Amino acid sequence: MTSLIGATGDVTVSIGGGEQIGEVELLIAGGSERFLARCPYPLAEGESVLVVGVRPGRVVDVERWSVPGW
C-alpha cells in the first residue's frame, strides 16, 4: 500500500485530528476506494486531502490538499 502515498481524494467522514480516525475516498487507478484516515489537525467532510503516509489496517495519514491556481 505504499503506492498510495501521493494519492488525492476527499474526506467522507470528518477527521478530528491527532489520534482520531475519519474516512477518506481516494482516487486510485481510474476508480476510488475508501480508507480510514488520520491527520494531525481536524479536517471536515468534503475537504481535499493528499496521502503522506500508510499504516497497517487500511489506515492512511493525510494532509489538507489544494490544487494551485484553483
The predicted model scores a pTM of 0.90
Instruction: For residue 45, give the C-alpha cell.
Output: 467532510
DSSP output for 9-44: EEEEE-B-STT--EEEEEEETTEEEEEEEE-SS-B-
Would you state the pLDDT for residue 2? 58
Per-residue pLDDT of 15-67, as tens digits, reads: 999 999 999 999 998 899 999 999 999 999 999 999 999 999 999 999 999 87
Looking at the DSSP assignment, which residues form a beta bridge with residue 31? 28
Domain 7-64: give its CATH code.
Answer: 2.40.50.140
Domain spans of the chain? 7-64
Rg from Cα positions in the chain: 11
